[in-house]
Amino acid sequence: MVSDKINLTAKEILEKEFKTAVRGYKQEEVDKYLDLIIKDYETFLQEIEELQMENQRLRKQLEDTSRRQPVTQPAGTTNFDILKRLSNLEKHVFGNKLYD
């Protein structure tokens, strides 16, 4: 999951306290910027979670589809090979009538 790779939570960013110095930053400006970061952070986390859920759903759907439709094409057979065989079969069954 994503939470294993993320070092900070939105709450930790919000609650972070910085020491002040004589020539430090304006606290109000820093707070506004951190609020913006927190909002983006939460949006990214939500988007990641939604994408992970969609990915999981699609993987399951693919797995289910694979189970229902076994591969019938022999290994090494391409669509070109199949079309070539079909063409030969048509020639054999219909003769030159198709190509007149």
The confidence band for 27, taking pLDDT boundaries of 50, 70 and 90, is confident
Domain that holds residue 46: 2-69
Residue-level pLDDT at 46: 92
pLDDT tens per residue, range 39-64: 999 999 999 999 999 999 999 998 88
Judged by DSSP in three states, 18 sits in: coil
Judgement on whether residues 19 and 31 belong to the same structural domain of the protein: yes
Judgement on whether residues 61 and 94 belong to the same structural domain of the protein: no
Q: How far apart are CA 61 and CA 21, in angstroms?
A: 57
Label residue 91 left, alpha or beta by phi (over 0 means left) and psi (-120 to 50 means alpha).
alpha
Judgement on whether residues 54 and 6 belong to the same structural domain of the protein: yes
Q: What is the pTM of this model?
A: 0.51
Q: How far apart are CA 86 and CA 92, in angstroms?
A: 10
Judgement on whether residues 46 and 32 belong to the same structural domain of the protein: yes
The number of domains in the chain is: 2
pLDDT tens per residue, range 57-86: 999 998 888 777 665 666 677 888 888 888
